[in-house]
Chains A and B, each alone.
Chain A
Amino acid sequence: AQSVAQPEDQVNVAEGNPLTVKCTYSVSGNPYLFWYVQYPNRGLQFLLKYITGDNLVKGSYGFEAEFNKSQTSFHLKKPSALVSDSALYFCAVRPPDSNYQLIWGAGTKLIIKP
C-alpha cells in the first residue's frame, strides 16, 4: 500500500539553529511531493512542492526541502529557526494518475524554543 511516513511526532529546536523535519514515502512511479504547515486553529497552508527538476526546492518563510529519489525522502529544512515557525507540519504525496488526491503523513509538531 502507498504511504507517507513522518517518523518524528515532535521536533524541538533552539531558535537560530537549523531545523529538519523528515518525510519518507512509499509510492510507485514519480510522485509530486508537498509540505504544508498548520498553525493552531487554522487550516493548512501550502509551503512548497517538488514536481521535477532541481532536488532542492525553496518555499515560503525561508523553508526548503530536499528530494532524494534513492532514499524516497523529502525532508523539510530551514537554516535558522524562528519561534514563529512553531506549528504542525504535514508532508503529502500525489501519486501519478491519482486524480489529484494526496496521501498525507501524520504530521510533525515543530517546537522552536527561544
Chain B
Amino acid sequence: NAGVTQTPKFRILKIGQSMTLQCTQDMNHNYMYWYRQDPGMGLKLIYYSVGAGITDKGEVPNGYNVSRSTTEDFPLRLELAAPSQTSVYFCASTDSGRASHEQYFGPGTRLTVT
C-alpha cells in the first residue's frame, strides 16, 4: 500500500492564481481531512469528508473548496490564491469502522503565494 499520497510536493503561485492539491489514499478509508500547518503552529482543519459525496467545513475553510467523488480521492481547490495561504498542506485519512482511530498522513505540499 502506498498509503496517502499528495501532489505536488512544492508549488509557487502568484496572487490570484488557482490550483488543485491532489490527495489519494489506497486504504479504503472513509474519512479524509485537509489540514494546513503554519510555522510554529499546530494543524488547522480546512475541510473533511466522511465518505464519497459528503464534505464539511473545518476550522479555516475560507478560500478553499473540496470535492469527494470517490473513496480514494479528496482534492483541495484554491481559488484566487492569497499570501495568507502560504503554508504546508497535509491530507490525512482514517477508517471509522476500525478500532485504530489514528489518522494517516500524506507527505505534504509546501505552497508559497507571492
Q: Which residues of A contact B (CB under 8 A)?
A: 4, 9, 32, 34, 36, 41-46, 49, 51, 90, 94, 99-102, 104-107
Contacts and interface: CB of A to CB of B under 8 A. Distances in A.
Interface residues of B, number: 26
Given A43-B90, A44-B90, A99-B50, A49 B101 contact: yes
Given A34-B102, A49-B101, A106 B42 contact: yes
Interface of B: 4, 31, 33, 40-45, 48, 50, 56, 58, 90, 92, 94, 96, 99, 101-108
8 contacts: A4-B42, A43-B90, A46-B103, A90-B42, A90-B43, A104-B43, A106-B42, A107-B41
Nearest to B106: A43
Contacts of B101: 32, 34, 49, 51, 94, 100
Contact of B42 (A42, A94, A105): A105
B40 A106 contact: yes
Contacts of A107: 40-42
Contacts of B90: 43-44
